[in-house]
Amino acid sequence: MDQNLLVATGIKVTYGKHAGLFGSKPSTPVLHGVDIRIGRGQTVGIVGESGSGKTTLGRALLRLVDVSAGKIAFDGRDITHIPETEMRPLRRRMQMIFQDPMASLNPRHTIRRILTGPLLLHGLAGDAATALEQVKSVLDRVSLPAACLERYPHELSGGQRQRIGIARAVLMQPDFVLADEIVSGLDVSTQAQALRLLKSLSRELGLAMAFISHDLSVIRAVCDYVYVMRLGKVVEEGPCEQVFASPSAAYTRALLDAIPLPEYDPGWLERRTET
């Protein structure tokens, strides 16, 4: 069996290429040939400049945006151009957790319905009672009380909603989870909880994860391997220990130097690192 679960090569994405209703729009090339591979059970970090194309890359991997060049293989199969009908069964195996879970949870549905619905839809549970059992055990896993089931998304705190997002993804028994900036709005204690949870879930379930974050400390804490992006390209990649101990790209060094540490350091703000 191939050790790699997801392999993308030479990915290019350009927004606004199609001639729209109002004639053809100016096109914005965003990814200029990106290679990335994610091993089974591996957690890969994607870090980089804001606007460098991290979210776009994630969306391309999940076939949520069309690529203009390159190839994406999932579990040994070329999925770059397969039609949506063939993509659909794969969607369950490739889950996404969003930064703002509020935007992806139906505000008019209870948590019970939000979590059991997809299980029944994808035939992962035969009936409502079995679905509920599965949901309860995952809620326990993410340290949420069963009382949450009868609540609506807005009746939970940000950290609780984030854990609902994680629970929903995990319930689909995916092979791959893409997490896009999911901890940046959380306080440090809730963040520590969520990161520990993801780490142990990926270990226990053999999940592969791509973890998009602008916070290198977070990446260091959860990832095995890291890709550093800038201007639509990968400027550095490698195992975390190596990249953090001896970054080779000037941009990676600048990223490390720009992390504010919770220590008194009066000169920090004025120190500059050339990129």
Ligand X SMILES: Nc1ncnc2c1ncn2[C@@H]1O[C@H](COP(=O)(O)OP(=O)(O)OP(=O)(O)O)[C@@H](O)[C@H]1O
**Residues 39 to 58: which contact Mg ion by CB under 5 A?**
55
- Check residue 51 for interaction with another protein (CB under 8 A): yes
Which letter, b or e, does each residue of 52-68 get, where b requires 16 or more Cβ atoms within 10 Å of its Cβ? bbbbbbbbbbbbebebe
- Check residue 56 for interaction with ligand X (CB under 6 A): yes
- Check residue 117 for interaction with another protein (CB under 8 A): no
Here the tokens at position 116 are 């059991």
Using CA atoms, how far apart are residues 46 and 226, in angstroms rounded to an integer? 6
Q: How far is the CB of 93 from ligand X (least distance, A)?
A: 23
Beta strands in 153-260 (DSSP E): 176-180, 208-212, 225-230, 233-239
Q: If you ran DSSP here, which 8-state letter would residue 186 be given?
A: S
Q: How far is the CB of 117 from another protein (least distance, A)?
A: 25
Q: What is the SS3 assignment for 216?
A: helix
Q: Print the binding letters for residues 179-208 with another protein: x by CB under 8 A, - otherwise.
A: --x--xxxxxxxxxx-xx------------
Estimate the share of the chain in helix, then strand, then coil, as percent rounded to the nearest 5. Answer: 40, 25, 35
Q: How far is the CB of 51 from another protein (least distance, A)?
A: 5
Q: Which position among 131, 148, 216, 235 is part of the footprint of another protein (CB under 8 A)? A: 216
**Residues 67 to 96: which contact another protein by CB under 8 A?**
none
Write out the residues near another protein by the rule CB under 8 A: 15, 28, 47-52, 55, 99-100, 103, 157-159, 181, 184-193, 195-196, 214-221, 240, 244, 254-256, 258-265, 268-270, 275
